[in-house]
Amino acid sequence: MDDSQWLVVGLGNPGPDYAGTRHNVGQMVLAELAHRLSASFKSHRTNASVAEGRPQPGGPRFVLAAPRSFMNLSGGPVAALLKYYDLDVSRLIVVHDELDIDFDSIKLKQGGGHGGHNGLRDIIAATGSNEFLRVRVGIGRPPGRQPAADYVLKSFSSAERKELPLLLGDAADAVEMIVSDGLTAAQLKFHTAKA
């Protein structure tokens, strides 16, 4: 097993109809990480699009992966990627949208339940473990009585879109810091209230 390699999975739904929706924020963070690595996504036999690279020469290798399945079927591609790259679930970082966190905030954790998130539920079922790392990107709660299932499939508001590049940058920074400095150091930085 390669200790210098990490699998970073960005959750979302495939196709242009979903590309800009709140549910696809995990894949937006992946795109930011791929841009930083100057890496491009290629089709992979695990039913995912994969880009690989190192943030620093000689540093850990990132395998960035976007499952090409729908969100609630994310587990199959993730389990196949772990097997293909011979990685333990402890080397898996899942980046996903989180209703219970305000928009413009991120939270980091390892383990825990799925909190009603169907992508996480399927990954836990397929890998047999919940001990992977999570970068939870806040999208906030739906306004009024709008159902959560509708809200997550809508695009960001114009006000949110102005802030979105900062949020995606913070989440990408968090992924890099988990790998370079560990989860606790990254939590200390990113869980601190914004000034």
Write out the catalytic residue numbers.
23
Q: Please state the φ and ψ torsions of residue 178, each to the nearest 5 degrees.
A: -55, -45
Strand partners, 48: 44, 67
Distance CA 63, CA 43 (A): 13
Distance CA 131, CA 107 (A): 16
**How far lies 4's CA from each of 56, 64, 79, 91, in Å?**
12, 14, 19, 9
CA distances from 18 to 48, 59, 162, 173, 186 (A): 16, 33, 19, 24, 30
Q: Which residues contact 100 (CB under 8 A, 6 or more apart)?
A: 115, 141
Q: Cβ(10)–Cβ(30) under 8 Å?
A: yes
The closest alpha carbon to 105, from 48, 43, 166, 59, belongs to 166
